[in-house]
Structure 1
């Protein structure tokens, strides 16, 4: 069985707020735009495709900010800083996304998982020393 990969984009607005999407499934939680990789697709290509599918934005990948191994699913998750091309505005462009909005790191909406918060904090930490992390089952911060 092929190993699963996922990729997400940390997209900041001019005020340094991070773009989050609210899922229409599961806990209807907030998360970074992203998803599972497809055949013959790099992690960077996955992040670019998922951002476009979920919020209609064209982005360029600027920096890898973390690789997270989730042993429960034998899956690697990649997180990247991405920059919006042409100053477009995000809008939900998939039935999977109820809404999308920029939030400051200190006022993240709920429900949100500790995994999402970790990827945001790692991406915004300019002094990050470690790219590789192992993550456990998600813990949820509820409203």
Structure 2
């Protein structure tokens, strides 16, 4: 309940204050994950435009590197529904033709992390909210920026191949 109140309050505050709060909240969350070592469930979204380019974002907190948008999956939420929800919340547009591409397990700041990689067609023009998402841009899958998260650069060809 407390996180819902915090989300509502942050939604009404100026963007620079929101980004500042996100950076501090992320630091606290990382400390919690390292101490408690919970199991997290998340999604990453491979959103393609009509030209076949993939959308990558830079967050206002955490790593400054490019990565696919995404976020946490709530309780028993379906990964495809979670991916569409996160995409809509963070980038203000819809995602169609959703398809599960991969499920990966890794460690994230000491926590177990199960990540559903979901692909879809971007419907509309995504726009960084300038709160959680600082920047968003489309890139050719075979020409990702140098400062893309290493795992994303490594896995992108496999994810593309899985799309058939």
TM-score normalised according to structure 2 size: 0.67
The reply to whether residue 33 of structure 1 matches residue 69 of structure 2 is: yes
Structure 2 partner of 1:42: 78
Structure 1 partner of 2:30: none
RMSD across aligned C-alpha pairs, in angstroms?
Answer: 2.2
Structure 1 partner of 2:11: none
Ranges in structure 2 where 5+ consecutive residues have no aligned partner:
1-36
The reply to whether residue 84 of structure 1 matches residue 122 of structure 2 is: yes
Number of equivalent positions: 126
Structure 1 partner of 2:18: none
- Provide the C-alpha distance between the structure 2 equivalents of 1:24 and 1:127, rounded to a whole number of angstroms: 30
Match of 2:134 among 73, 77, 98: 98
- Provide the C-alpha distance between the structure 2 equivalents of 1:127 and 1:80, rounded to a whole number of angstroms: 10
Structure 1 partner of 2:9: none
Assess if the C-alpha contact under 8 Å between 1:59 and 1:83 holds in 2: yes
Structure 1 partner of 2:51: 15
Change (3 A) 1:98 1:127: closer
Three-state SS of the structure 1 residue aligned to 2:84 is helix
Ranges in structure 1 where 5+ consecutive residues have no aligned partner:
129-143
Instruction: Kindly state the Cα deviation for residue 84 of structure 1 after the two structures are TM-superposed.
Output: 2.6
Post-superposition, which runs of at least 4 consecutive aligned residues in structure 1 deviate over 4 A?
none
Instruction: Kindly state the Cα deviation for residue 103 of structure 1 after the two structures are TM-superposed.
Output: 0.3
Match of 2:96 among 42, 45, 60: 60
Structure 2 partner of 1:3: 39
Higher helix share goes to which structure?
A: 2
Three-state SS of the structure 2 residue aligned to 1:47 is helix
Instruction: Kindly state the Cα deviation for residue 2 of structure 1 after the two structures are TM-superposed.
Output: 6.8
Higher strand share goes to which structure?
A: 1
State how 1:60-139 maps to structure 2 within 5 Å. 60-71=96-107, 72-85=110-123, 88-93=124-129, 95-126=131-162
Three-state SS of the structure 2 residue aligned to 1:15 is coil
